[in-house]
């Protein structure tokens, strides 16, 4: 007999655009004593697609034809575990104003600072792109805050085995030996393994 992995359900709790709205949700979660797992990555890394893949729902998170267009911090409630998945805005989108980039960078930084209820930061990394400074900066910042990292290579259907192994090695070296999980939202590969990792980080908190 094989044991089927549980499929958790994701419900959108709130969409927030600024520090005040963010703080309201953080207070709600604090009240519930609920841990959080954050998702972050460069704009277009496949974050919305991954939220949908995790939820096994095609349209929970909007997949952008125009990357970087609508940005927000989205809170999803995970049952039966009882924790929040926090979808941070994509960063590094060149075609938006300096001011706007600064606003979101500041908000991400605020969210990641002194966030003891954060069980892990899932850092999404495109399988086709060699390690970039922005991703490393975020990883360093999170590590400096004592936040466990859960690196995730996305879009592995677009990479050869060789390229994927190379990326995993590069990231593992940069992240002090943590090798990224590999996923494809398009082909639903690695999604159960990612759920298992997310849930164990949430539970360990
Ligand atoms: N081939 C492939 N394409 C993907 C995958 N995940 C996302 N994409 C595509 O990458 C683009 C950006 O995806 P999206 O989820 O909106 O990225 P976000 O900006 O990080 O939220 C879209 O065209 C998606 O269809 C994947 O696993 N495989
Ligand atoms: Mg998106």
pLDDT digits (tens, 9 = 90+) for 111-138: 999 999 999 999 999 999 999 999 999 9
What's the whole-number average pLDDT of the chain?
92
Flag whether pLDDT at 68 surpasses 60.
no
Q: Which residues surround ligand 2, an ion (CB under 5 A)?
A: 48
Distances (CA, A) of 72 to 3, 48, 104: 37, 12, 8
Cα–Cα distance between 75 and 87 in angstroms, integer? Answer: 6
Query: Atom 23 in ligand 1: which residue has the minimum CA distance?
Result: 65
Average pLDDT over residues 192-198: 97
Kindly report the pTM of this predicted structure.
0.94
Most confident segment among 1-5, 60-64, 138-142: 138-142
Would the CB of 58 count as within 6 Å of ligand 1? no
| Distance from the alpha carbon of residue 46 to the mean position of ligand 1, in angstroms | 4
Look at residue 63 in the predicted model and tell me its pLDDT.
72
Angle between helices 191-204 and 47-55 (to 10 degrees): 90
Give the mean model confidence (pLDDT) for residues 70-91. 93
In the prediction, which pLDDT does 171 show? 97
| Confidence at residue 78, expressed as pLDDT on a 0 to 100 scale | 97
Q: Is 157 in the pocket of ligand 1 (CB under 6 A)?
A: yes
- The tokens describing 16, both together, are 């927030």
Distance CA 152, CA 171 (A): 10
Token pair in block for residue 111: 């969210």
Confidence label for 205 from pLDDT (cuts 50, 70 and 90): low
Q: Is the pLDDT of residue 65 over 70?
A: no
Q: Residues 104-116: what's their mean pLDDT?
A: 94
What would the mean pLDDT of 81-88 be, rounded to a whole number? Answer: 96
Residue closest via CA to ligand 1's atom 7 equals 46
Q: Helix (H, G, I), strand (E, B), or coil: what is residue 185?
A: coil
Q: Whose CA is nearest to atom 28 of ligand 1?
A: 155
Q: Does the domain formed by 9-204 have CATH 3.40.50.300? A: yes
Q: From the CB of 143, is ligand 1 less than 6 Å away?
A: no
What does the domain layout of the chain look like in residue ranges? Answer: 9-204
Check pocket membership of 186 for ligand 1, CB cut-off 6 A: yes
Q: What DSSP string runs through 66-130?
A: STTSS--EEEEEEETTTEEEEEPPPB--TTS-HHHHHHHHHHHHHHHTT-TTEEEEEEEEETTS-
What are the b/e assignments for 153-187, b being 16+ CB within 10 Å?
bbbbeebeeeebeebbeebeeebeebebbbbbbee
Atom of ligand 1 nearest to the CA of 67: 19
Q: Is 74 in the pocket of ligand 1 (CB under 6 A)?
A: no
- d(CA 139, CA 147) in angstroms, rounded, equals 9
Q: What pLDDT does residue 150 have?
A: 98
pLDDT digits (tens, 9 = 90+) for 138-180: 999 999 999 999 999 999 999 999 999 999 999 999 999 999 9
In the chain, the percentage of residues whose pLDDT exceeds 70 is 94
């Amino acid at each position: 007999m094989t044991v089927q992995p549980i499929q958790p359900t994701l419900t959108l709790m709130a969409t927030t655009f600024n520090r005040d709205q963010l703080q309201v949700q953080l207070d709600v979660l604090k009240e519930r004593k609920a841990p959080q797992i954050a998702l972050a990555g460069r704009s277009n890394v496949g974050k919305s697609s991954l939220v949908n893949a995790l939820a096994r729902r095609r349209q929970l998170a909007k997949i952008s034809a125009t990357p970087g267009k609508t940005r927000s911090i989205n809170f999803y409630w995970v049952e039966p575990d009882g924790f929040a998945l926090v979808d941070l805005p994509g960063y590094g989108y060149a075609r938006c104003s300096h001011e706007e980039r600064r606003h979101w960078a500041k908000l991400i930084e605020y969210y990641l600072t002194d966030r003891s209820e954060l069980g892990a930061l899932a850092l999404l990394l495109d399988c086709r792109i060699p390690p970039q400074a922005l991703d490393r900066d975020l990883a360093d910042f999170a590590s400096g805050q004592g936040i466990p990292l859960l690196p995730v290579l996305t879009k592995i259907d677009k990479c050869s085995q060789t390229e994927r192994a190379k990326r995993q090695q590069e990231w593992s070296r940069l992240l002090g030996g943590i090798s990224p999980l590999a996923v494809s939202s398009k082909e639903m590969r690695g999604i159960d393994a990612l759920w298992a990792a997310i849930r164990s980080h949430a539970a360990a908190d």
